[in-house]
Structure 1
Amino acid sequence: MIESPAVLIVNSASRRGQENFSQARDRLTELGVELMAAHAVEDPSTLPDVVARSVAAGARTIVLGGGDGTVSSVAPQLCSTEVVLGLLPTGTANDLARTLGLPTDLARACENVANGKIVDVDLGVVGDDRFLNVSSIGLAVGVTEQLNPRLKKRLGALAYPVATIKAYRRFQTFSAKLEFPDGDHPDVELDDLLQLAVANGRFYGGGAVVAPNAGIDDHLLDVYAIPRGTPRQRWQVARHFVSGAFTESDHVYHVTTRNVRVSTVPGQAINVDGELSAHTPETFGVVQGGLRVIVPEDATVGVADISARQRARS
């Protein structure tokens, strides 16, 4: 059950955001959701401030309309607080919605906000940023640079493979050093890499799976590195990329950990849930149960909300 009062905040610059704002506000009101305010935000850079002001004003639930980048941008304002996130997936990839088992139909997403259950999920940490899905280095950065808003609006999720082909044509490999502060893995140096990723969630890039056992509630980060390798090895990776089974290949480096420091030669931009907001060298970590989020009643993702249980006993 949603915690009141709630504030509706829609990234109206995201795909379908503006046209969905009024529909979401009306539908939530019909469902009995107590909205103390509703904002259609045209400038995505102001979203963290709008969320922070809403929380300071007493909002118990933030109903957020947007894509994965929208959620990541406001995650620091919600991390480790009592405030609940109700997500209306109005972005292009909506990988967090896939991970959480959320409906992408707007009306059904509103119903989930009104009637779903609250669980705790993990948040990834990279510098001052928080991320739900994946932080990537290498080819994924080139893909992000190719993903202009016009391409995403025209092709939707198909924009990702098109952008990948364009990025690959001009890509240059890099080297990386991975250090593990907790000592759970030996430090390693990797050369001639196409991509390196540190993942908190399960899905990214429009529906690709990070790794077969990756989850947003396992308190671990999945780290993988893909070398350029031979043409046959590249084909094996491409063939199993969507399923995540490529991480089981002998030539792909893959571990799980709670903390890892990544440095690269040359220095690399970091794609944080679709936004280029960090740069190597950088340390990655995880906040266990750092975000309270509404999911469907039959969802198996997430850990039963600790805060709700504590309030029930008080």
Structure 2
Amino acid sequence: MGHDRFEEVRRALAQALNLVYAAMPNTEADFCAQITAQRSCGVRRIIIGGGDGTLSLAANMLAETPVVMGILPLGTGNTFAAGLNLPSALSSLARVMATGYVMPIDLGVAQTANGHRYFLNTATLGVSERLTQLLTAESKRKLGWMAWPKGVRRAIAMTPIFQVRLEFRSRVVSFRTRQLIIANGRNLAGPVFALRDASHQDGKLHAFSLGGQDWWSLLKVGMVLLVGRHISDRQAHYEQVREVRVSAEPVMAIDIDGEVWEHTPCTFTVRHGALSVIVPHG
């Protein structure tokens, strides 16, 4: 969260629950050190405020531990929070943190030869890498959601078509596209792009292409997602999987929850109930 909101958030939480400690880390290293210190002290509930990238970093530190993660979505897209039906108003969020219930959720896992990383929302190849580079913190701060349409148009124009190969359940599927998505959970981009048949508790990853080689197919699959319908377009190559190995030609960077991480080839799996979070009742 930004420094300008820290005191506001701290006061709201202190009024709603027994807040023991609050900190505003200045760097990623400080952020990770704060979480490590609280875990070492035996803290079992840690509330994290920030955007999807910050929440994803925290999830990587708290995955498969007894610590429960509270979520204050204070970013631009807030995709993860939208998928959990968390309210946007700070006062309502504080009440959820105080009175909500603990729910175990699935995490995706990306594994390469160099290591692994958990993801909350999506692992992607293609347009998303360029979009991550274009949507700087400064542009999102100035334009908010309006930064996305401009960024998407430029990212599509900058992204070449690539060949992707999926290996799963003794099958091999190969096709050309500008964007591959491996999704964990329902929401793909804020509250707008959603997979109707997915959830953070279904024990599955949802793999699909955002269209084929032509612009029309990309737009067609995008419109299906906008209205929350099931993806049936054949050029989407939609599959529900528990494990999938992805390779690409040329080698492609992997975007994990909005941050460029490793490169293909990569194996994606799902860890059922790997993270406990606080969610609203009902």
Please give the secondary structure, in 2, of the residue aligned with 1:81: coil
Any idea what the Cα deviations from partners look like across 1:24-63, whole Å, max 9, x if unmatched? 222222223241x211012134423321221111111011
Aligned counterpart, 1:8: none
**1:96 aligned to 2:84?**
no
Aligned counterpart, 1:140: 128
Identity %: 32
1:210–1:222 Cα contact (<8 Å) kept: no
**1:114 aligned to 2:127?**
no
Aligned counterpart, 2:58: 74
Aligned counterpart, 2:15: 30
1:169/1:27 CA distance change after superposition, 3 Å = same
Aligned counterpart, 1:18: 3
1:260 Cα offset (Å): 0.8
1:196–1:226 Cα contact (<8 Å) kept: yes
Aligned counterpart, 2:145: 157
The runs of 4+ residues in structure 1 deviating greater than 4 Å are none
Please give the secondary structure, in 2, of the residue aligned with 1:240: helix
1:246/1:46 CA distance change after superposition, 3 Å = farther
Query: Letter of the aligned partner of 2:146 in structure 1?
Result: L
1:24–1:107 Cα contact (<8 Å) kept: no
Query: Letter of the aligned partner of 2:173 in structure 1?
Result: V
- Stretch deviating more after TM superposition (160-169 or 20-29): 20-29
1:157–1:206 Cα contact (<8 Å) kept: no
- Stretch deviating more after TM superposition (235-244 or 164-173): 235-244
1:208 Cα offset (Å): 3.6
2:83–2:191 Cα contact (<8 Å) kept: no
1:18/1:114 CA distance change after superposition, 3 Å = same
1:98 Cα offset (Å): 0.6
1:207–1:242 Cα contact (<8 Å) kept: no
Q: 1:166 aligns with which of 154, 158, 167?
A: 154
1:210 Cα offset (Å): 4.4
- Stretch deviating more after TM superposition (73-82 or 239-248): 239-248
Using the alignment, how far apart are the partners of 1:203 and 1:43 within structure 2? 28
1:227 Cα offset (Å): 4.2
Query: Letter of the aligned partner of 2:184 in structure 1?
Result: N
**1:251 aligned to 2:223?**
no
Structural mapping, 1:280-295, within 5 Å: 280-295=264-279
2:186–2:199 Cα contact (<8 Å) kept: yes
Using the alignment, how far apart are the partners of 2:199 and 2:236 within structure 1? 19
Using the alignment, how far apart are the partners of 1:130 and 1:81 within structure 2? 13
Please give the secondary structure, in 2, of the residue aligned with 1:247: coil
Using the alignment, how far apart are the partners of 2:66 and 2:91 within structure 1? 26
Q: 1:260 aligns with which of 218, 237, 244?
A: 244
Aligned counterpart, 2:117: 129
Using the alignment, how far apart are the partners of 2:222 and 2:84 within structure 1? 25
Any idea what the Cα deviations from partners look like across 1:235-266, whole Å, max 9, x if unmatched? 42243232354721122100011111111111
- Count of aligned pairs: 278
1:297/1:231 CA distance change after superposition, 3 Å = closer
| Alignment gaps of 5+ in structure 2 | none
Please give the secondary structure, in 2, of the residue aligned with 1:241: helix
Aligned counterpart, 2:171: 186
Please give the secondary structure, in 2, of the residue aligned with 1:217: coil
2:251–2:264 Cα contact (<8 Å) kept: yes
User: What do you get for the CA RMSD once the two structures are aligned?
Assistant: 1.7
1:246/1:221 CA distance change after superposition, 3 Å = same
Aligned counterpart, 2:49: 65
1:84/1:235 CA distance change after superposition, 3 Å = closer
- Stretch deviating more after TM superposition (131-140 or 153-162): 153-162
**1:239 aligned to 2:231?**
no
